[in-house]
């Protein structure tokens, strides 16, 4: 079986590295995008199983990325976890409107995030995601 694929859409290098290292250790395939535009391009070509999406991005924000993914037949089935410091009531309402699986606020608990990822990819945190 193929390893589960996760796209990290984030513009903070330290957050990218933290997530990438922990996901690779668990056997996931990982790609990263530092902007909304590159996230859409990568998602179209690579079609990840899950996207970890920041809202505050340079250029196209995370809400626009989410809208474009959910409107595209080839990508609409991709699960999305928002990982963002934007945690106003309106952001949480928007997440519900966009069918976001989880809204995790920065600073986040890595264990909680890994549990959410496990649930969405169908992979137990202790096993390889193949």
| Cβ atoms 30, 6 nearer than 8 A | yes
Q: Which CATH number characterizes residue 79's domain?
A: 3.40.50.2300
* pLDDT recorded at residue 91: 85
In a domain, 92, yes or no: yes
Distance of alpha carbon 66 from alpha carbon 52, whole angstroms: 11
15-73 per-position pLDDT tens digit:
999 999 999 999 999 999 999 999 999 999 999 999 999 999 999 999 999 999 999 99
Please tell me whether residue 30 adopts helix, strand or coil conformation: strand
The pTM (predicted TM-score) of the whole model is 0.93
pLDDT at 124 over 80: no
List, in order, residues 6 or more apart from 85 with CB less than 8 Å away: 56, 105, 106
In a domain, 25, yes or no: yes
pLDDT at 2 over 80: no
In a domain, 96, yes or no: yes
Domain count, the chain: 1
Distance of alpha carbon 17 from alpha carbon 67, whole angstroms: 26
Distance of alpha carbon 33 from alpha carbon 42, whole angstroms: 8
Expressed as residue numbers, the domain containing 100 is 5-121
User: Smallest Cα–Cα separation from 83: which of 102, 57, 60?
Assistant: 102
Distance of alpha carbon 91 from alpha carbon 86, whole angstroms: 7
């Amino acid at each position: 079986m193929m390893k589960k694929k996760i796209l990290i859409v984030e513009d903070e290098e330290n957050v990218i590295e933290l997530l990438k290292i922990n996901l690779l250790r668990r056997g996931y395939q990982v790609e990263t995008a530092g902007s909304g535009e590159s996230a859409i391009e990568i998602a179209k070509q690579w079609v990840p199983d899950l996207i970890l999406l920041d809202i505050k991005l340079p250029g196209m924000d995370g809400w626009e990325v989410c809208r474009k993914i959910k409107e595209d037949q080839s990508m609409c089935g991709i699960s999305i976890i928002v990982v963002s410091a934007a945690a106003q009531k309106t952001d949480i309402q928007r997440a519900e409107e966009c069918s976001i699986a989880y809204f995790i606020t920065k600073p986040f608990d890595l264990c909680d995030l890994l549990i959410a990822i496990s649930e969405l990819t169908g992979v137990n945190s202790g096993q390889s995601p193949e």
